[in-house]
Amino acid sequence: MLAPIQNLLLYGLVPLLVVLALIGAALLYAASRRRREPEFGTDAPESELDSGDPALATTVPALPAAAMPGVDPRPGSPGFAADLLLVDDSAVARAKLRRLFETCGYRAQVARDGVEALALLDKGRYRLMITDLEMPNLDGVGLIGECLRLGHAAAMPILAITGHDDLQDRLDACHQISGIHRKPWIDDDLVGHVSSLVGRAASHTDPALAN
């Protein structure tokens, strides 16, 4: 009676147990090798990515302040507000100037006299200013003088427009400016003069002037 049972154990269960043991050993070996292999790709633990290891960091070289659009290296200087500041006490002249330059792609702000212009200059910088010379409160000559005393506006190109017949007399009164145009100005001449001083419209390329 015991002989058949012994034969079953010897020739049936024992080989099965041996096979299962071999399979288990193979699985353990494969798992241990996998743990020892280095991992590549983007699935590294978050703690490794944030460990501060220079080998894991991507360095972006910083631009010097002077090379960054709209950034003034001098401390305390305001950023760019627009391309052009247009100053004239005539509403018609302001509208014509603004339409002329915005059609060409420039961003423009307007002021009615020198006092308003200085308030705008206190809040932001401009690539160029065009100002009438005959205005109430603070005229163009006085405005130009104040701009030359402002740190961030002293290097700003300035063009004057005037209805005065004697351009040389007006130019002598503000000889520091980049040029003077008689009213009514010639659109192509005025736009060409602006372009020669500050280049083409910066609002197309300069992110500092974007809304």
Confidence band for 32, pLDDT divided at 50, 70 and 90: low
DSSP 11: I
What does the pLDDT look like over 103-145, one tens digit per residue?
999 999 999 999 999 999 999 999 999 999 999 999 999 999 9
Confidence band for 46, pLDDT divided at 50, 70 and 90: very low
Percent of the chain with pLDDT over 90: 41
Rg (CA), the chain: 38
Tell me how far apart the alpha carbons of residues 183 and 93 are, in angstroms, rounded to a whole number.
9
What does the pLDDT look like over 136-176, one tens digit per residue?
999 999 999 999 888 788 889 999 998 877 666 666 667 77
pLDDT at 100 over 80: yes
Kindly state the average pLDDT of the residues 62-66.
32
Q: pTM for the complete prediction? A: 0.58
Tell me how far apart the alpha carbons of residues 10 and 82 are, in angstroms, rounded to a whole number.
95
Tell me how far apart the alpha carbons of residues 207 and 101 are, in angstroms, rounded to a whole number.
19
Tell me how far apart the alpha carbons of residues 64 and 179 are, in angstroms, rounded to a whole number.
32
pLDDT at 67 over 60: no
What are the CA-CA distances from residue 2 to residues 6, 7, 13, 16 (Å)? 6, 9, 16, 21
Give me the chain's average pLDDT, please. Answer: 74
109 membership: H or E segment, kind and range: strand 108-111
Query: What is the per-residue pLDDT for 132?
Result: 94
